[in-house]
Amino acid sequence: MNTTHVSALDHTIEQTNAWLKKLEAGAFADRHQAYSGLRAVLHALRDRLTPEQAIHLGAQFPMLVRGIYYEGWKPSRSPAPDRHLPEFLARIASEFPPQFPYSAEATAEAVLKLLWEELDPGETAKVIQSMPSEVRSLWPTIAVP
């Protein structure tokens, strides 16, 4: 195993790989696809939240995932005006690499399930509650109040 010999960095690499491995096992053919799906959904989710909500959510992520989440963020443009599921899914799909073999909906469901499993349920419930009802339908049934 490659290590950086910096415990905080090794730990975040380990956590991030664990997240990607879970996504890969549940929904994707390989780690690269899992990363692409995670990145696309995190960016769409982040942009749909107020800056304060986005920061509270991002604070729960492993350090490396947090960097992916904040990559390219423009807080002054948040929250995005999209209120409907097709717009949210289009935002996700816009981040996919060419020939990405999965639908935006299946990708969103896989990533949101992972977030529900990995993050604090109380904080995650606040995020879910703030989403339009159409978008809430992408979260696991157990997560939606």
- Which DSSP string corresponds to 21-58? HHHHHHT-SSHHHHHHHHHHHHHHHHHHS-HHHHHHHH
Contacting residues for 76 by C-beta, under 8 A, at least 6 apart: none
Q: Higher pLDDT residue, 25 or 77?
A: 25
pLDDT digits 0-9 by tens, 27-75: 999 999 999 999 999 999 999 999 999 999 999 999 999 999 999 999 9
Cα–Cα dist 89/95, whole Å: 10
Given a contact cutoff of 8 angstroms between Cβ atoms, the answer to whether 22 and 114 are in contact is yes
Length of the chain: 145
Amino acid identity of residue 46, one-letter, is R
Total domain count, the chain: 1
What CATH number is attached to the domain comprising 122? 1.10.490.110
pLDDT digits 0-9 by tens, 72-115: 999 998 898 877 999 999 999 999 999 999 999 999 999 999 99
Amino acid identity of residue 1, one-letter, is M
Prediction pTM value = 0.93
Owning domain of residue 118: 7-143
Is residue 112, in this structure, part of any structural domain at all? yes
Is residue 138, in this structure, part of any structural domain at all? yes
In this predicted structure, the answer to whether residue 17 has a pLDDT above a threshold of 80 is yes
